Structure 1
């Protein structure tokens, strides 16, 4: 991994540089003080998603979901568990497709829940349907080189 990691704050959209060796220490945004890598799933809007997907040096896994979707609500705790298990090597976020319909068009989402993994400034892999935490983690491990 690079000496410094570039991360977009998912709260205020400020770009931060964090020493790679300090990712596990809970780095905070230099602008707003929000934690950058803490194993929590962060809600996003389309603008923040586009900036983070383009700029982040860490992989970003995004859950496209809606509040009325039963499978989405069932998968939410599993997605959170996977986020905790893979931190600080991967960041997890979710985008409400009901509140952000442009996101479904932009990313050609045909059904939810739908996971998209972003890495190196582009979409890297997709996974459709509700999954348990172990399957989400395996999906990420298959598509991202994880540190030992």
Structure 2
């Protein structure tokens, strides 16, 4: 039986969840909010660091900016994908305009850029806007 550690999007508490429960809409043990909401998480610097340090579910972050046209066109595709891969991957967004230090830390040179992490380490990177089919294919490759 596999175990995963998930950070609650609402209260930031660390939760231990069995692999079987990931598909059963698990709730936070502290605040009772959903641990895996069907939409991408919105990250800031502290949340990003907490997820990378503690989560065991693979994390895919969309590094974007509000002024970026391709970012805006990919946003609904990314949001829809979050619901499709929920419980197997966690999808999140980080505004590179608001959090420039995080963008610099990960060497973001163009946006949108997707970076996949597992156990806090980068495992894949994709720059440029993707269509729904391209994004599904990329995420499927991450899930094996």
Residue 90 of structure 2 corresponds to residue 85 of structure 1: no
Q: Indicate the larger mover: 99-108 or 9-18.
A: 9-18
Moved over 6 A (4+): none
Question: Residue 54 of structure 1: CA displacement?
Answer: 2.6
For 1:24 and 1:116, locate their aligned partners in 2 and report how far apart those are by CA, in whole Å: 23
> What residue number does 1:12 align with?
11
Q: Is the 8 A contact 1:82 1:134 kept in 2?
A: no
Residue 38 of structure 2 corresponds to residue 39 of structure 1: yes
Residue 18 of structure 2 corresponds to residue 23 of structure 1: no
- Within-5 A mapping of 1:136-147: 136-145=135-144
TM-score computed with the length of structure 1 as normaliser: 0.90
Q: Deviations over 1:81-105 (max 9, x none)?
A: 1111111211110011111111111
Structure 2 unpaired stretches of 5+: none
Q: Deviations over 1:49-95 (max 9, x none)?
A: 12212321111110001111111111000001111111121111001
TM-score computed with the length of structure 2 as normaliser: 0.92
For 2:75 and 2:106, locate their aligned partners in 1 and report how far apart those are by CA, in whole Å: 20
Q: Is the 8 A contact 1:39 1:91 kept in 2?
A: no
SS at match of 2:138: helix
Aligned length: 144
